Chain A
């Protein structure tokens, strides 16, 4: 990682929500950090805790009765304990967020310009006209044509792509140091998605901003993220530089994700069905089982009920996040030994089933 001081550092964050059915352990002790000008991708499915973690960073889970512990350091201050009025000054100014569905994330009854100018005036002492000028400037900057006229439109008068651009303009209008983007392109068409990702990268370079991008789409993180963190059931199970996640992943859940996703090149790391000459027919390998309850998560390693490489000892204690032998930036939380994991993956990526891989490798107890 870079030598600079991280802009945002999350340490041992725990977020619980008391509900009628029990306490939901949404985030279960995670730590990560982001540096200026770099992009961290957080990958996970629904229930992984990725969204809750980022909302908590901005203090947006406080109102929902969340019990938060741990530390979130931003510019020397701990956001977890920071009083609401101080946190509000940071939100929308130095720390900004972009959400998934721009149609529901923008107020339908206020003009786009109004929503932008109020973002400016909440943090800067400027006149209405100055705020409006800034809003027009920003709309133009994100690629909205004829911004001086469109600033008085309502959100529903914009197309999907333009709405997301407007949301990005709104988030970046005060030139934040860190941008958190929660599924920013999931609701968009693929060509628009490409435009938005390119826009975000350009703005990142201009503002030397750190970006945390949260998504379930492996392709998106492969395109934009420098580091990737994989979350499952409220925990971080693997973290590494982007290339390594795709070339040398070492957690069974990451393997499961990679093997269950088809790619547009037609290749998957999936199961080999048949091979005749150079034609390989691969099969998607779904992760068996279903996502766990967050009220009663599985004991020990949360992934163990769905893991083909499970040993009884894995259910007894939680695996610590540890670096792999040759790369201190690559950390994995798994009881299986790293050498065994590598051999397993080598087999799996050729198209073996987990059973076959286990037999070949002779996977024993990794505890």
Chain B
């Protein structure tokens, strides 16, 4: 098992290097502002621009720049400095990380609970009203774009502007350490929106899986043993959860990488919002940093999911 994890981690690092390279190249190919000009202030002299270029190191060959960057990242965990604000990228990111984590993890808990519940009930009452209603609801939640859902949620429920002002609105985020109650309140709407479409997908998945597992031979055996029905259902759920868990893990990885739209709509100062601003101002080191972070989350969640699967399904264990 350890060998397997080690192998996956090494490949993970390789993937991250490739991601770095790709974004690096992309930013060179796209027509963006010369960062030296950005930093130079108003009406810069060409000689000043050249000096700044020298300082920033953007006049060296690409390969050299890339190599320097890689060394910094992997050996010193130094992601560079923002071209806009001169602050260390890693600092900027770590500042924003708690907000993103609060959003994603909270949303994830909600989506699992709701998704599981709805999925199980739908599977057990397949074809009946509860099931049909739930699946229609799920379809709506999946089809609706998240940012639209966010805006609608604000429109309906946000404190100052909403029709039924019960929740704090956009921009009300405060960190947990500052004020736990306010932190919680400000995240309710965003959590609901994050959870909405993911829970819907999860519910559909669980419904399908559970319907299938409840028809398996071992369920018939469980009934033949005279077990109470709730035990039988539990056995079915246990088998149905495995593939859903994989989907959950991967989705979470995605989300952690940048719940961009939600952070924008609700003005949550997370990594996604940072990324957004950086792209708009062509602040390449910051973008590079956030993309790397996103890739890292996805790679990590992939590994976690695969390893966890071996625990969930003993047939898959590596010996």
Q: So, do A and B actually touch in the complex, CB under 8 Å?
A: yes
B-contacting residues of A (Cβ < 8 Å)?
58, 60, 88-93, 96-97, 99, 101, 104-110, 118-119, 122-123, 154, 156, 167, 170
CB distance from A119 to the nearest CB of B (A): 5
Tell me which residues across on chain A come within 8 A of B231, comparing CB atoms. 118, 122
Q: Which of B225, B314, B315 sits near A91, CB closer than 8 Å?
A: B225
Ordered nearest first, which 3 A-B pairs have the shortest CB separation?
A92-B226, A91-B226, A92-B225
Select from chain A the residue with minimum beta-carbon distance to B227: A122
A109/B314 contact (C-beta < 8 A), A60-B220, A104-B216 known: yes
A92/B227 contact (C-beta < 8 A), A99-B221, A107-B235, A110-B235 known: yes
CA distance A156 to B227 in the complex (A): 23
CA distance A104 to B313 in the complex (A): 15
Tell me which residues across on chain A come within 8 A of B239, comparing CB atoms. 107-109
Contact B226 A90 (CB under 8 A): yes
Per-residue A-contact encoding for B200-219, CB less than 8 Å = 1, 0 else:
00000000000000001110
Q: Which of A90, A96, A119, A156 sits near B315, CB closer than 8 Å?
A: A156
CB distance from B71 to the nearest CB of A (A): 46
Contact B238 A109 (CB under 8 A): yes
CA distance A97 to B224 in the complex (A): 7
Per-residue A-contact encoding for B118-152, CB less than 8 Å = 1, 0 else:
00000000000000000000000000000000000
Residue B163 lies at the interface, judged by CB distance under 8 Å to chain A = no
CA distance A91 to B224 in the complex (A): 6
From DSSP, what is the main secondary structure of chain B's interface residues?
helix
Tell me which residues across on chain B come within 8 A of A109, comparing CB atoms. 238-239, 242, 312-314
Which of B216, B217, B239 has its CB near the most chain A CB atoms (within 10 A)? B217
Residue B228 lies at the interface, judged by CB distance under 8 Å to chain A = yes
CB distance from B223 to the nearest CB of A (A): 6
Q: Which of B221, B224, B312, B314 sits near A154, CB closer than 8 Å?
A: B314
Select from chain B the residue with minimum beta-carbon distance to A103: B217
A89/B220 contact (C-beta < 8 A), A108-B239, A118-B231 known: no
CB distance from B315 to the nearest CB of A (A): 5
Q: Which of B223, B227, B315 sits near A108, CB closer than 8 Å?
A: B315
CA distance A119 to B228 in the complex (A): 11
Tell me which residues across on chain B come within 8 A of A170, comparing CB atoms. 221, 225
Select from chain B the residue with minimum beta-carbon distance to A58: B224
A104/B223 contact (C-beta < 8 A), A118-B231, A122-B228, A154-B315 known: no
Q: Which of A60, A99, A118, A167 sits near B227, CB closer than 8 Å?
A: A118
CA distance A123 to B238 in the complex (A): 23
CA distance A92 to B217 in the complex (A): 16
CA distance A123 to B235 in the complex (A): 18
Residue B222 lies at the interface, judged by CB distance under 8 Å to chain A = yes
